[in-house]
A and B are shown apart, each in its own frame.
Chain A
Amino acid sequence: MCMFKAFLIKYAEIGLKGNNRYLFENALCERIKDVLKSLGEYLVYKEQGRIIVECPDEYDYDETVEALKRVFGISSFCPIVTVDYIEWENLTKAVGDYVDAVYPEKNFTFKVFAKRADKRYPLSSPEICSRMGAYLLNRFPTLKVDVHEPDVALNVEVRSKAYIYSIEIPGPGGMPVGSNGKAMLLLSGGIDSPVAGYMIAKRGVTVDAVYFHAPPYTSERAKQKVVDLAKKISRYAGRMKLFVVNFTDIQLYIYDKCPHEELTIIMRRYMMRIAEYLAKQENCLGLITGESLGQVASQTMQSLAATNEVCTMPVYRPLIAFDKKDIVEVAETIDTYETSIQPYEDCCTIFVAKHPVTKPNLKQIRYSERKLQEKIDELVDEAIKTVEVIEIE
């Protein structure tokens, strides 16, 4: 059985939030409960500016650590050994046993940090530090104290129980999802958009997603791939709704009426329009895309201006200044890369022109779009009406 019975959760940015602080803390607690729910009966509670996670008697340490690493808002967390009887002799023995178990090689420098929450405890914090240090030096003669740059910072906190911890595991940082509004992610099957969703979620934003499906030109497997990607994002971002829009008729209509080299831009303008419509309906405050400046023809400054023009909501483009390899790096860390590179076509590539416009002229695009007047509103309404909603847990 694992010696660690609980985790101490540390958070950074939330601490700065003044009167709203409790909202952030509550959101963080909720997210932690959420990721641990399937792993067992954990107890998550706030205690004096920190969050404590108490583990069930039988739990999987590695699984728990992996889950906590996915909770935005956690700057770091420490596995703790708890001591029920805090009489001095018992406490020193427990700390000694802790050091013995955690550090098989006793050739490091250390410093004891003590905190005494219960002021009735007979020893003051500095006294705990010095006496505990002496006890450890006595028990493990090869240890050394270094009060300036210790290898190991050994924390001993005395409350109704005592907590011992020295290992600090980095969390993902950011802010807890649910603390910062909601946005609609335009999710394709590619590498970029899942990363974009992840990054905005990291700032505390709840994410819903919209996918444009074009059967028979894109397959059921392409859609399944997007569902799989959404699931991967939701491991970090929590529950999300995935809206699947059937885009075929709109795409074919544009193909029929507009110059071929403008197809992609005009198509993307309609995607933005539909995404914004769904976003408003879901009370989102912004759109998220995986666009990266200059990556492809539709992501030049001129093209972005053209697609941006059709909506009034803010469009968040967290990857805008990223190189592809940096995006891939994040995709690999969040485990979306392998899924993204499955070779199913998405609707952006099926009819792509050999030489699409790279510097679309807004006037020209608007002029071309006018050729769609007859039927396009009807087709857009139909696409919105027939949208399929998939709940991602």
Chain B
Amino acid sequence: MEVYLDNSATTRVTESVRDVMVKVLYDDYGNPSSMHRKGVAAEKYMRDAAQIVADSLKVEPKEIIFTSGGTEANNLALIGAAMAYQRRGRHIITSGIEHPSVHQPLLFLKENGYKIDFIPVDGTGKLIKDMLYDAINEETQIVSVMYVNNEIGSVQDIEEIAREIKAIKKDIIFHVDAVQAFGKYRIYPKRMGIDLLSVSGHKIHGPKGSGILYVNDNVKLKPIIFGGGHQRGLRSGTENVPAIAGLGQAVKEIYEDFDKKVNKMYDLKQKFIKEISRLEGVRINGLPAECGPDYEMEYIKKTAPHIISVSFEGVRSEVLLHALEDRGIYVSAGSACSSHHPQPSTTLTAIGLPKHLLDSTIRVSISEMTTEDEMEYTVEQIKDLLPVLRRYTRR
């Protein structure tokens, strides 16, 4: 049995995404900038994709920039806005658990004279909002908060944060990294007060190398890639039409039967957690503090439907990962930790996970394609492996 439970790393494309991409690669391969019919045909794929994405977010197609993925979208949003609004001040606020594609551009800006505040999270991975609000001052230019954390699936109160920060300072640009949230939540930037929103294609069964940045029409950005002035000068370079077409198709499908899919994932998540938490020496990370041993759905639903972070005492995550792999199950290690180069995960450290568990944490991430059988099989295998793995350890 092959069970792919690493959907937060990447997903498989759907058949229709594959088909449309092959068609663009092989038949409709024109350059959208070309004036002839082939160019027009290619451009149509882009227009259609932009329309689909815009509809899903309830925004205008002209507010959609296609990028090479979530990383580029985050870079463009942060560096682009920081450059465009330098005169408003050079202060940016973000959370302490952001993805490196937010964290690193901000460190780059810091080197270039910006002041960056990193707001801590509590033990469940929720931003301590009062500290965020207190950090806002005259100079504050951008606030960037991730919607769903990629390691533990904690979810921020995006709408509330947008409302509060704008009440304190009206002209703050609010950026949201929604790479793990898009397709799992209905996100309406205009209604929610989001100015910039990053999305990745390959996390929602689209192709790698595709992503979008939503840029509110009233927000100005400076480009970070210069060239022929494609996409209104914000993102030069011949558009990756096959990927854009694939992304459009994926977006269209991900919101079909949306509630049913999300509820199914929550069911799988709850069942899995219930089963796994019965085992000895197990800790489920990122659940609300109020959540009791029954793991009621109301608490599970405060976290993302697809990400489960579990720590197993006395088991090295890398070993568990490879042992599961041996049985056809693919998960990821909660932190990229090795005996030679310890790089404990920022999120797991930030939520105060005890040191001995940092290297004992795996992430199980499901998709709407995941089945109950697959999850049961996974639970079985973990049950089977734990005693063996715990027996053979460094002493």
Contact = CB atoms under 8 A, between A and B. Distances in A.
Interface of A: 215-220, 252, 255, 260, 341, 343-345, 349-354
Interface string B319-341: 11111011000000000001111
Nearest to A352: B394
Nearest to A344: B338
Contacts of B340: 341, 343, 345
Interface in B28-80: none
B339 A252 contact: no
Contact of A217 (B319, B338, B395): B319
Contacts of A341: 340
B319 A353 contact: no
A255 B390 CA distance: 13
A343 B319 contact: no
A283 B322 CA distance: 35
B218 interface: no
A345 B322 contact: no
A144 to B, nearest CB: 57
Contacts of A353: 394-395
Given A216-B319, A216-B323, A343 B393 contact: no
B326 A215 contact: yes
Given A351-B395, A354-B395, 5 more contacts: A216-B319, A216-B321, A216-B322, A252-B392, A345-B340
Nearest to A216: B322
B321 to A, nearest CB: 8
A216 B394 CA distance: 15
Q: Is the interface of A mostly helix, strand, loop or mixed?
A: loop
27 contacts: A215-B322, A215-B326, A216-B320, A216-B321, A216-B323, A216-B325, A216-B326, A217-B392, A218-B322, A219-B318, A219-B322, A220-B322, A252-B392, A260-B395, A341-B340, A343-B338, A343-B339, A343-B340, A343-B341, A344-B338, A345-B340, A349-B339, A350-B319, A350-B394, A351-B392, A351-B393, A353-B395
A350 B395 CA distance: 10
Contacts of A220: 322
Contact of B394 (A215, A219, A252, A351): A351
B314 to A, nearest CB: 14
Contact of A354 (B320, B339, B394): B394
A174 B326 CA distance: 45
A263 to B, nearest CB: 9
Contacts of B322: 215-220
B174 to A, nearest CB: 38
A345 B338 contact: yes
A299 B6 CA distance: 41
Contact of B392 (A218, A219, A255): A255
Contacts of B339: 343, 345, 349
B92 to A, nearest CB: 32
Contacts of B393: 351
Contacts of B341: 343
